């Protein structure tokens, strides 16, 4: 059965449309733009309980994970976290995870669904849990699916400290155990004051009530995605395709370590890092909203008649209007007038100049301003 959050039964909740990547949790609570504004000026709490959570325990948990993922974790301190990837042999991204090391366990949470694909022949798919189990061999680790035991809530906003009763360090990815089970983890995105709470699932509604009673406004994944897109943080499977490498979506450093070896796909990571020119980059597109249509995930981006990119996340932002993330070729000029979409949903778009690698072209800024206006 598909997951369905208990909060979807609450008054005023609007569920995502059918087939949406965030299916199973609230999309918004009646006013998505006000929810976004509160997330930037006050504090909101967002139900992300559809994310999958895996725990790795045992004396070799760090050394074993170090061999499988793209991040350097052999010396990951207790009460610390990071981001990491599972890559295929060509360096393409199979899985993105966020880690939290607390007590005797490393927790890995990821978007739901079978996303690790390259370990199987003929394009077969497997879950992250299945992949980890297949790579266990004789390692002294214990792997468990804790999705049924822990549920994720995310608190966003400059006033987040006012609703959180937990001692949590200020460094990105700082982790603290929660009383009664679970953990808190500070995140550097989609806003600089984001905190993830992995709470016991049987206490999920009580935690939600506690946070809203303390002043956090209920918000949906629409608000989370709008701020994520604004900050240019990719969502696996939406902003990536089967050819995406970490350099194209800004995951070098944050999720992929360029100096460590001994993990699948490391050769590509090192080679492209040394050359310094991945074939594509993740651009923030400003979309012309006057036609009241928007492109969809997977639609092409064209420069004239030539396809130069692929649309990923598309959102309505409370200040920027319709915006999208797109993987576009490095050759696309900052000031280029693009067409985004397919069939009857083709609209004008322009790359935000601040998202162009190494460029801040005035013509591009002027083009973006015209569409915003």
Decide if 295 is inside a domain.
yes
The domain boundary, picked from 99, 127, 145, lies at 145
Question: Residue 73 is part of a domain; what is its CATH number?
Answer: 3.30.70.1400
Q: Are residues 139 and 152 in the same domain?
A: no
pLDDT for 209-261, tens place per residue? Answer: 999 999 999 999 999 999 999 999 999 999 999 999 999 999 999 999 988 87
> Is the predicted pLDDT of residue 355 greater than 60, yes or no?
yes
pLDDT in the model for residue 262: 80
Residue 52 near residue 145 (C-beta atoms within 8 A): yes
Decide if 249 is inside a domain.
no
**In the chain, what is the greatest distance between 2 CA atoms, to the nearest angstrom?**
61
Q: Are residues 178 and 128 in the same domain?
A: no
Question: Residue 213 is part of a domain; what is its CATH number?
Answer: 3.30.1360.120
Decide if 373 is inside a domain.
no
Residue 116 near residue 128 (C-beta atoms within 8 A): yes
Decide if 91 is inside a domain.
yes
Q: Are residues 78 and 136 in the same domain?
A: yes
pLDDT in the model for residue 372: 54
> Is the predicted pLDDT of residue 369 greater than 70, yes or no?
no
Residue 326 near residue 373 (C-beta atoms within 8 A): no
> Is the predicted pLDDT of residue 305 greater than 50, yes or no?
yes
Q: Are residues 164 and 87 in the same domain?
A: no
Highest mean pLDDT (candidates 113-117, 268-272, 343-347, 367-371) = 343-347
The whole-number average pLDDT for the span 348-353 is 93
Who contacts 111 (Cβ-Cβ below 8 Å, separation ≥6)?
A: 21, 51, 52, 96, 235, 236, 237
Mean pLDDT, rounded, of the chain: 91
> Is the predicted pLDDT of residue 364 greater than 50, yes or no?
no
Decide if 251 is inside a domain.
no
> Is the predicted pLDDT of residue 300 greater than 90, yes or no?
yes
pLDDT range class, residue 373, cuts 50, 70, 90: low
> Is the predicted pLDDT of residue 40 greater than 70, yes or no?
yes
Who contacts 84 (Cβ-Cβ below 8 Å, separation ≥6)?
A: 65, 69, 70, 71, 73, 96, 97, 99, 108, 255, 256
Decide if 241 is inside a domain.
no
pLDDT range class, residue 362, cuts 50, 70, 90: very low
One DSSP character per residue, 113-148 reads S--B-TTSGGG--B-HHHHHHHT-TT-S-EEEE-TT
pTM across the whole model: 0.93
pLDDT for 262-282, tens place per residue? Answer: 888 889 898 888 887 899 999
Helical spans, DSSP H, in the chain: 32-41, 61-68, 128-134, 204-213, 221-230, 266-275, 362-372
Q: What share of the chain in percent tops pLDDT 70? A: 92
The domain boundary, picked from 145, 161, 176, lies at 145
pLDDT for 113-136, tens place per residue? Answer: 765 555 545 456 778 998 999 999
For residue 248, the 8-state DSSP code is G
Q: Are residues 70 and 28 in the same domain?
A: no
Residue 64 near residue 70 (C-beta atoms within 8 A): no
Question: Residue 294 is part of a domain; what is its CATH number?
Answer: 2.40.30.110
Q: Which domain holds residue 120?
A: 53-145
pLDDT range class, residue 363, cuts 50, 70, 90: very low
Helices and strands: H and E segment counts in the chain: 7, 17
pLDDT range class, residue 49, cuts 50, 70, 90: very high
The domain boundary, picked from 124, 145, 166, lies at 145
Decide if 134 is inside a domain.
yes
Tokens of 175: 């982790």
Who contacts 219 (Cβ-Cβ below 8 Å, separation ≥6)?
A: 28, 29, 35, 36, 38, 39, 44, 45, 46, 156
Q: Are residues 225 and 342 in the same domain?
A: no
Tokens of 312: 């990923």
Using alpha carbons only, give the angle 78, 80, 86 rounded to the nearest 5 degrees.
110
Q: Are residues 37 and 174 in the same domain?
A: yes
Decide if 73 is inside a domain.
yes
Query: Residue 4 class from Cβ within 10 Å (0-12 exposed, 13-18 middle, 19+ buried)?
Result: middle
pLDDT in the model for residue 365: 47
Q: Are residues 178 and 320 in the same domain?
A: no
Q: Are residues 43 and 155 in the same domain?
A: yes
Q: Are residues 43 and 189 in the same domain?
A: yes
Q: What share of the chain in percent tops pLDDT 90? A: 76
CA distance 311 to 297: 5
pLDDT in the model for residue 371: 57
pLDDT for 57-104, tens place per residue? Answer: 999 999 999 999 999 999 999 999 999 999 988 999 999 999 999 989
Question: What are 198's strand-pairing partners?
Answer: 152, 183
Tell whether the torsion through CA atoms of 68, 92, 233 and 27 is positive or negative.
Answer: negative
Report the number of distinct structural domains present in the chain: 3
Q: Are residues 64 and 37 in the same domain?
A: no
pLDDT in the model for residue 202: 97
Q: Are residues 94 and 126 in the same domain?
A: yes
Is there a cis peptide before residue 190, judged by omega within 30 degrees of 0?
A: yes
């Amino acid at each position: 059965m598909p997951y369905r959050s208990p909060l979807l039964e609450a008054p005023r909740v609007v569920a995502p449309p059918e087939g949406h990547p965030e299916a199973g949790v609230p999309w918004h609570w009646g006013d998505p733009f006000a929810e976004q504004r509160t997330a930037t000026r006050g504090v909101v709490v967002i139900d992300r309980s559809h994310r999958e959570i895996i725990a790795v325990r045992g004396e070799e948990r760090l050394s074993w994970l170090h061999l499988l993922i793209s991040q350097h974790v052999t010396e990951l301190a207790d009460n610390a976290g990071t981001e990491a990837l599972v890559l295929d042999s060509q360096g393409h991204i199979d899985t993105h995870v966020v880690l939290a090391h607390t007590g005797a366990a490393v927790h890995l949470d990821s978007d739901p669904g079978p996303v690790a694909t390259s370990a199987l022949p003929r394009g077969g798919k497997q879950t992250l849990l299945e992949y980890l189990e297949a790579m266990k061999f004789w390692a002294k680790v214990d792997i468990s699916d804790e999705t049924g035991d822990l549920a994720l809530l995310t608190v966003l906003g400059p006033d987040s400290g006012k609703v959180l009763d937990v001692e949590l360090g200020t460094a990105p990815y700082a982790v603290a155990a929660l009383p009664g089970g679970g953990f808190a983890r500070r995140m550097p995105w989609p806003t600089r004051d984001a905190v993830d709470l992995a709470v016991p699932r049987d206490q999920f509604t009580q935690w939600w009530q506690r946070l809203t009673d303390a002043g956090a406004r209920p918000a949906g994944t629409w608000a989370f995605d709008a701020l994520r897109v604004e900050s240019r943080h990719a969502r696996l499977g939406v902003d990536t395709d089967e050819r995406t490498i970490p350099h194209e979506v800004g995951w070098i450093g944050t999720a992929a370590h360029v100096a460590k070896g001994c993990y699948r796909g490391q050769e590509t990571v090192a080679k492209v890092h040394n050359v310094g020119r991945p074939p594509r980059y993740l651009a923030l597109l400003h979309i012309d909203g006057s036609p009241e249509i928007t492109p969809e995930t997977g639609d092409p981006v064209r420069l004239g008649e030539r396809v130069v990119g692929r649309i990923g996340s598309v959102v309505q932002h409370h200040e920027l209007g319709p915006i999208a993330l797109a993987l576009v070729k490095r050759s696309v000029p900052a000031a280029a007038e693009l067409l985004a979409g397919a069939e009857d949903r083709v609209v004008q778009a322009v790359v935000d100049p601040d998202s162009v690698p190494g460029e801040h072209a005035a013509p591009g800024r002027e083009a973006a301003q015209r569409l915003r206006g």
